[in-house]
A = this chain, B = another copy of it.
């Protein structure tokens, strides 16, 4: 079947592309050529290396979202200020591309006060709303930098970013805790740690080194330590985002395993949580962005 258009999710550390026919996936490809690895002039070559076999002479639309629209990206796609529809306008055209493609980048969202930014998650939110029209509630997008977005009347009203995933990776891989935090998991220890930071957020700073000391003095299991570290950090995120989720309808859009961990943290708080697949949301959002492109083409 012929590739009608190409969907691209281009983040800091990854590049994923899908050959599309309308909303259906014909083929997919991925590489590690994320934005952080590429200099200004290297984006098109990194993409063509992945999609070359899908191209022929007639130009095909390429719709990309993510950090590819940052200042250091392929083309800067200036942020749209919230409140706003997640993907309100036609994406930004990349100038001077190979004649076989017409490339567009979806702009991110910004919030002036408190200052915050997102690139990529707005497309997933748009995709989620496409199948949940007039959905009101809060969307959690867990990842390296987890986003919480308050959504009403098909607009993102406000959002906050949490460095929870990055903090976990730094503490687990590069701090003194690396000697005590290993593989494995302990569901009860995770739940207890979430509850501990949620109820006593001021104690977070005192808990972290305790993971090392509990190993030295009491030979605490490395998987228990991993669950506890995750619980302490997600608990701190939930303490800070409580005004977002308390009493709200919550949707989690993310990788399956991580979404389940967030759902496990939220459920004891009496929260009603549904989950949505991250890739499906991205593709639905890019399809929506592509339709905007065609309306104005």
Instruction: Show the binding face of A for B, using Cβ within 8 Å.
Output: 79, 110-112, 114-117, 145, 160-164, 166-167, 170-171, 174-176, 201-206, 208-210, 212-214, 216-218, 233, 236-237, 239-242
Q: How many copies does the complex hold?
A: 2
Can you show 18 pairs from A to B with CB atoms below 8 A apart? Answer: A110-B217, A111-B213, A114-B206, A145-B176, A145-B209, A162-B205, A162-B209, A163-B176, A163-B208, A166-B175, A166-B176, A167-B175, A167-B208, A203-B240, A204-B236, A205-B236, A205-B239, A206-B240
The 7 closest A-B pairs by CB, nearest first: A201-B202, A115-B213, A202-B239, A206-B240, A161-B209, A205-B236, A205-B240
Cα-based distance from A204 to B200 in the complex (angstroms): 13
B contact residues around A233 at 8 Å (CB): 205
| Minimal beta-carbon separation of A87 from chain B (angstroms) | 20
Say whether A240 contacts B204, CB under 8 Å: yes
Cα-based distance from A239 to B236 in the complex (angstroms): 14
Q: Contacts A162-B206, A167-B208 given; 16 further ones with Cβ under 8 A? A: A110-B216, A111-B213, A112-B217, A114-B206, A117-B217, A161-B210, A162-B208, A163-B209, A170-B175, A201-B202, A202-B202, A202-B242, A204-B204, A205-B236, A206-B240, A206-B241
Cα-based distance from A166 to B236 in the complex (angstroms): 19
| Minimal beta-carbon separation of A220 from chain B (angstroms) | 8
Cα-based distance from A63 to B124 in the complex (angstroms): 62
Say whether A114 contacts B210, CB under 8 Å: yes
Q: Which residue of B lies closest to A236 (CB)?
A: B205
B contact residues around A176 at 8 Å (CB): 145, 163, 166
Q: Which residue of B lies closest to A161 (CB)?
A: B209
Q: If A205-B237, A239-B202, A240-B204 touch, does A210 touch B175 (CB 8 Å cutoff)? A: no
B contact residues around A212 at 8 Å (CB): 117
Say whether A163 contacts B145, CB under 8 Å: no
| Minimal beta-carbon separation of A12 from chain B (angstroms) | 9
Q: Which residue of B lies closest to A208 (CB)?
A: B163
Say whether A117 contacts B205, CB under 8 Å: no
